[in-house]
Chains A and B, each alone.
Chain A
Amino acid sequence: KQEVTQIPAALSVPEGENLVLNCSFTDSAIYNLQWFRQDPGKGLTSLLLIQSSQREQTSGRLNASLDKSSGRSTLYIAASQPGDSATYLCAVSPLSGNTPLVFGKGTRLSVIA
């Protein structure tokens, strides 16, 4: 059974700092990996989607990497801003299509001005 772990559970950094969020999964047979952001009381916003054949994806100040063989992904946030404060969720989709995502418990990020 696939399990996704995110470390750390919470992180507080001063504005401007670069940071890395970690995600690991137990079964390397995944279709893709997705990073989401959730603000309090809101739905999930997709940040980056990494297909299983890809190693990384970038969007603005965000860069996500995927090492499928070791079951790891990282989300790198450059020059953090207070507006980046949110819960970041890592999720993997199994190989069989149209099955639910398996989520980590998230990293709660606070960027202090």
Chain B
Amino acid sequence: GAVVSQHPSWVICKSGTSVKIECRSLDFQATTMFWYRQFPKQSLMLMATSNEGSKATYEQGVEKDKFLINHASLTLSTLTVTSAHPEDSSFYICSAPRQNYGYTFGSGTRLTVV
């Protein structure tokens, strides 16, 4: 199979603090991880693409200093939301492609900033 485990599934944090979201590929090596955010009843919006061992590529309009992505190993990619504000409250999902299995998605993280 192709399983991506995402944690935490939900988190509530105070404004100004940082939150780290982890995505682990459990049974394959994910050289690439895509990070999305999704607002209620809207489509997935691609935020950035991370490749193991190199800097992430961010989509236009996404602040790279606010959304720090690290892909230091073939099985772990992390997204850190720094100095979170209420407008960062959203659903964040990661995804990794695996040959012959297509793309696998994590279960998502519901971030609420209060």
Residues of A within 8 A of B (CB): 32, 34, 36, 41-46, 49, 91, 93, 97-98, 100-101, 103, 105-106
When chains A and B are docked, how far (Å) is the Cα of A100 from the Cα of B34?
7
Partner of B43, one of A34, A93, A100, A105: A105
Whether A93 pairs with B97 at a CB distance below 8 angstroms is: yes
Q: Collect the chain A residues with CB atoms within 8 Å of residue B43's CB.
A: 103, 105-106
Chain B window 94-111, contacts with chain A (Cβ cutoff 8 Å), 1 for yes, 0 for no: 010100011111111010
Find A91's partner among B6, B49, B103, B104 (CB 8 Å cutoff). Answer: B103
Q: Binding site of B, secondary structure by majority: helix, strand, loop or mixed?
A: strand
Confirm or deny: B81 has a beta carbon within 8 angstroms of a beta carbon on chain A. Answer: no
Q: Is B58 an interface residue, CB under 8 A from the partner?
A: no
Known: A46-B103, A101-B103. A41 touches B91 (CB 8 A): yes
A-B CB contacts (within 8 Å), total count: 47
Interface centre among B32, B49, B97 (most CB of A within 10 A): B97
* CB-CB nearest in chain A for B44: A103
Chain A residues near B56 (CB, 8 Å)? none
A50 to B20, CA, bound (A): 34
* Contact, CB under 8 Å: A43 / B93: yes
Contact of B107 among A34, A42, A46, A106 (CB under 8 A): A42
Q: A93-B97, A105-B43 are in contact. Are A100 and B49 (CB under 8 A)?
A: yes
Shortest A31–chain B CB gap in Å is 9
- Report B-chain residues with C-beta under 8 Å of the C-beta of A98: 31-32, 51, 97
Which residues of B are found within 8 Å of A91, using beta-carbon distances?
A: 103
Residues of B within 8 A of A97 (CB): 97
Please give, as numbers and ranges, the residues of chain B lying within 8 Å of A46 by CB-CB distance: 101-105
Q: B31 contacts which chain A residues (CB < 8 A)? A: 98
Docked pose: A106 CA to B108 CA in angstroms: 18
Closest residue to B101 on the A side, CB-wise? A49
